[in-house]
Structure 1
Amino acid sequence: KYFLYFFLQNQQSFLVWVHFSPPQKYISSSGELGPADVYSARVDIEVDSPGPSHVIQSVALRARSGTPRFYLLINLFDYLFACCHLFTTWISTAKQTLPLKNAGNIDVLLRLKVPDHDCFTVKPEELILKAGEEKGVVVSFTAQDTQKFRESMLTILVLPSGPQYEVMLKGEMVQGVSGKVVSPPAVLSQAEVPPILSNKQFMAWGGVTLGRAVQQKLVLRNNSPTTSQQLRLLIRGQDQDCFQLQSSFGPDERLTHNRELSIKPKEDVTVHLLFAPTRVASMLAKLEIKQSAARASQPGVKFTIPLSGYGGTSNVILEELRKRSDGYVATLSGVQAGRVSKLCVCVRNTGSRAAFVKAVPYSSLQNRAVMDSAIMSLSPSQFVLKERTQEQVLCQSGAALLATVCLFCGDEVSRQQFRKSVAVLI
């Protein structure tokens, strides 16, 4: 129970805000989602008096907490360009509808925005997606000058505070008759390209412990309203033995590198892929999705989805500290006014890959309020912890304030690869 007291004069009113913060809950990115969690409470309004108090009014409170999970289905032909690719002639408009599906367990409000309003537009700009619902957003490109290629970014923000998704947009002006639909300048005509949609343009597993296998899902849709599609799935590449297709489950589980697939009109099919690394290294392969040809003279259309992952993970632990269910407890002894207290914490990496560790002291973890460095300092505050090594972190404090020190850690090899990629883009 929580009590709030207010003193009101005649004809005076006030506003009370009730904030809801659900407990943190770990959910696997590829795991099944159950129903949304429902929380209930009540606000009782009483008159504070010397005698017995009674409730003059009650306000019921109810909140739902869930997970939004989106499938942005884009034609696999567009994945040859790794984006949503639109073609048009000068002063003409090309449009493409992107199916957006909420595969989560809670309704969400989305805000869609394209910064380059001169050439690219998106409608609608705000969208409500109920759990399990699918709606289409229309992206338009109009070539208004002599510049042949234009690029922009479609951002999809889950209100009010994220997460945010991004889709690269590319527009190209081609030769054609104004007002007529222009096909992409490819070897195949648009009519020969099977209308297969996918929710992913690449699949990345990150680090997986040796001896374990991690599953991810890929959703394919036959967007044709009348024609079934016969597809052949094949895993190729230098590390193809580490990636497998899972075609059945239970005691009769089958793991293969190829699979035949038949998708009915407007049907969604989930493809399960497993990554089981065999060594501590980065591993690459590709999933080829090929249309089964009716005749040998027609080889069909082949789509490619890159697969990546690496073997081994870092595992950072704290030694010689009292462990609790929500973390560790350390005691700074001998805290006195004008005296600096010190505590050394041993951080060890028991994993098989280097980790990057950053330590941050918070005066209020709930509000993410960082403690003033004049009150508490950490040395070192960030460092690289190689596999099978340890590091001593010195905590110094000159005040008897309770603090929470959070150690954020991640894979160091991936961090360096990300920094190199960002440097190339800049």
Structure 2
Amino acid sequence: MTSPVVQTCPECGARLDVDPRFSVWCPHCEWNLTPASEAAEATEQPRHGAAHTDRTARTAHADRTEQLYEDLAAGHGATGRRDWLAASAVAAAVHLSTTALLAWALWLLVTGNTPLRCLGAGALAVVVLLRPRLGRVPRDEHVLDRHRAPALYGLVDRLAAQVGADPVGVIRIDGTFNATIGVVGLRRRSVLTLGLQLWEALTDQQRIALLGHELAHRVNGDHRRGLWLGSAIGALAHWHDLARPRRRAGSPGGLQLLFQLADLISDALLGGLAWLLLRAVRLLDRLTARAGQQAEYHADELAARAASTTAARGLLETLLLEGAADTLVTRLRADRIHRPRAVRRGAARPPQEPVTATLWEQLREHLATIPPLERERLLRRSALRQDAVDATHPPTHLRLALLDRRPSHPAVVTTTATESAAIAAELAPHRERVARALLAD
């Protein structure tokens, strides 16, 4: 723990207790709340029409986000049915397009002559490329087997029953500062992915809030995760990726000019198609944004009811520390890369140490010693920049504010010390594997 240094704010003269590890700022006048480069970027006037349009769209999105928060805080949380119907219609157009192309390809293959059958085979190949991706149940080293992790699966099953969700099918472990849940395959099995960086940064009760939030996505009415809308959104994104023009190497000889002309024509056609598909993706995003953000707020509420409001708040506040965690991991990785060089120059060889202990213990210690003033800066900066976990989530500061405006809930699901120790033992092999991958051991 670094001792604080006393300084004076150059703007308002307030006394500042500064931790040398973090940015110096003033909580009274918010001097140096964000770096100068970020402030310049936020106030810079757009120079191009496209930049102006993009900034206008972001402003409109922020206004809609604030309005949804105010509606939910006031108890008016009904999702617009018109937007949902419009999104369903767009999804229907996507699925019908694929179905129509499939029917045409099969008709050509059955009734056409040889050239038409060749065309039908090509159309069928396009259908295979454009089909909605349902995903597959993972079976790799990241999967935590239910029979080998009964304590963790048991906790997840208890939480699923609490929030009203079906038991999770598969739990995966990776090294991210995040957690996600998805549904894959024709049987629509749920896959819960836990990022160990976030997991290790949380207390036991905050981990329950994390699990409760992810499981709540199975029952919170988020149509974007359903088969109809979810597969349409994924299909449109895949279509756009396939249609984007790509650079190609020049053709040799006298045919180079001809190939270049053909490339220009195909790029123009594909570029126009990619533009239309991108607009369709953004339209679906716009139509589903309100319902999706409302579902995230509902998931926060269900997590608070299961793990307690205090634990849900702690989880959201910890999400703001991702940058601090990334900085520590980067520094530890650099230390491990440079250490062999020091040994080769004649320095004493350090004793062998478990990679797990090096990373996870230092990560927990580093995040636990972040002072309240720095946490407050991160929260205020998050509110200023409207930071969120990703584009589908509401800003984190609004999620915290809505929890504060709702009734406080005690913990319903808890763990004993024995259960927590059993879960830690089940995760031990994955903690070592992920630590080595993060530090490039």
Same fold? TM cut 0.5 = no
Q: For CA contacts below 8 A with separation 6 or more, give which structure has more relative contact order.
A: 2
Larger radius of gyration: 1
TM-score (norm: length of structure 2): 0.19
Between Structure 1 and Structure 2, the one with more strand by share is: 1
| Richer in helix (by share) | 2
Instruction: Return the TM-score normalized by structure 1.
Output: 0.19
